Amino acid sequence: MRPGKHTYDPHTRKVHPVHAQDDAEESAADVIAAVKAGAVAVAEAAASSKGKSKGKGKGGETAGATASSGTAAGQPVISEVDVQAGINGGLTLANAPDDANSLGLDIDANDTGYVATVTIGTPPTDYLILMDSGSSDFWVGAEGCQTLASEGGSACAANHVTLGADSSSTFQDTGAPFAVTYGSGSVSGTIVSDDVVLAGLSLPAHTFGVADIESTDFSASDITFDGLMGLAQQGLSQQQVPTPVEALATAGLIKDPITSFKLSRLADGLNDGEVTFGALDPAKFQADTLVTLKNVNADGFWEADLDAVTVNGASAGLSGRTAILDTGTTLILAPASDAAAVHALIPGAKSDGQGGFTIPCTTSASVALSFGGTAFTIDPRDILFAPVDPDDVTGDCVSGISAGQIGGAKEWLVGDVFLKNAYFSVNENTNQIQLAKLA
């Protein structure tokens, strides 16, 4: 990991700084993975912290002292359902999708991730899979899975569904190894084949991975998913095999390798999130707002030019930026100076001096990101990720925008805080991204 990044310990719920000597060389994918983990780390650690004075954040510089006010009545914007979900975790199940070739997206905790049910093996068994547009490897835990030796080497949690020859008669292990390192965890195992059914579409003998070794970031009993499906492009894959959507298109089961996302917000209570393969779901977005964007990333991420950033209509003075759009990242990560510029326009925003920010939980600040000439406004409830003190929802909240070095000096990593506010679709044939305002 690079200097200034953090790792998150899910057991102690603490964020740990990572020093330069930990890793001097990284690929672009490693950097993104590290920053993704750091984003969730900062948010979860702050949200779970106790013992602070009510109404106080971590301290630090007040970024928005001269900006206009938030909610006049001082009422909390963050919902109690979000607060409780942040504390208790767990999945909120999605409604069955109406559109063809679609899977419902269950909501993890307070919108920290999105999980779909995928069927694997013979007899068919359901697995809960995290859907991640920011990586390209598909894996589930292996039978006999263990945690890292450095974390005790114990068996993976029994509540996770695993895969192997004992559970599936069509399972075939190639013996070829793979390993994926994420920012706050890792998995390793072998490349296998087995029958996969995705949104009713069958991929016989599909090639993917089973993880024999998982860090506790994946193996622990409080982790809601059994595996992860990367839906970026194959160039990012450590397994170097086609992604499921690529395989669906090659098999002629969908016309084009398109993946489309509608991410649901827990506080809305609609539970209508879905991922659609091969097309866009026209019922989910306003057709006249659809913009088509060139993918400017050559490594396999989905990245577009970011035209502008505004707060309550006032420009943050940022231009020439790009943004990786990543459903597997909870927050928005921006270069430090950019994050500071945005928070300078939010009343009462404070820096914690470590890349994180707090915002009054009563704010009504309207942050918008512009792509393709269209401004997409972020609901203030999404900017307020979690209260610093869960017992005080009128105090300070963790900001959904944090500072982090992604890659280039003008590169952003844009996760679910934004993506809940837009319909998001990617097309591997055209190498294009589409965004639209939600219906």
pLDDT in tens, the chain (439 residues): 222 222 322 222 222 222 222 332 334 455 455 444 544 444 444 434 322 222 222 233 334 433 333 444 578 899 999 999 999 999 999 999 999 999 999 999 999 999 999 999 999 999 999 999 999 999 999 999 999 999 999 999 999 999 999 999 999 999 999 999 876 789 999 999 999 999 999 999 999 999 999 999 999 999 999 999 999 999 999 999 999 999 999 999 999 999 999 999 999 999 999 999 999 999 999 999 999 999 999 999 999 999 999 999 999 999 999 999 999 999 999 999 999 999 999 999 999 999 999 999 999 999 999 999 999 999 999 999 999 999 999 999 999 999 998 889 999 999 999 999 999 999 999 999 999 999 9
**Inter-helix orientation angle 80-88/28-48, to 10°:** 110
Q: Do 52-84+280-436 and 100-273 show the same overall fold? A: yes
**Residues with catalytic function:** 132, 326
CB 372 within 8 A of CB 306: no
C-alpha distances out from residue 354 to 15, 64, 336, 402, Å: 11, 17, 10, 9
Nearest in space to 116 (alpha carbons), one of 98, 94, 85: 94
Q: How far apart are CA 349 and CA 342, in angstroms?
A: 10
The CATH architecture to which 100-273 belongs is: Beta Barrel (2.40)
Task: Decide: helix, strand or coil at residue 270.
Answer: coil
Residue 14: predicted pLDDT: 24
Beta-bridge mates of residue 180: 187
Q: Where are the domains of the chain?
A: 52-84+280-436, 100-273
CB 36 within 8 A of CB 326: yes
Query: What pTM did the predictor assign?
Result: 0.86
Residue 164: predicted pLDDT: 98
Helix ranges (DSSP H) in 354-435: 380-383, 416-419
Q: At a CB cut-off of 8 Å and minimum separation 6, what does 252 contact?
A: none
Residue 11: predicted pLDDT: 26
Reading the block at residue 111, the tokens are: 């919108």
Q: How many CB atoms lie within 10 A of CB 409?
A: 11
Q: Does the domain made of 52-84+280-436 have the CATH classification 2.40.70.10?
A: yes
Helix (H) / strand (E) containing 171: none
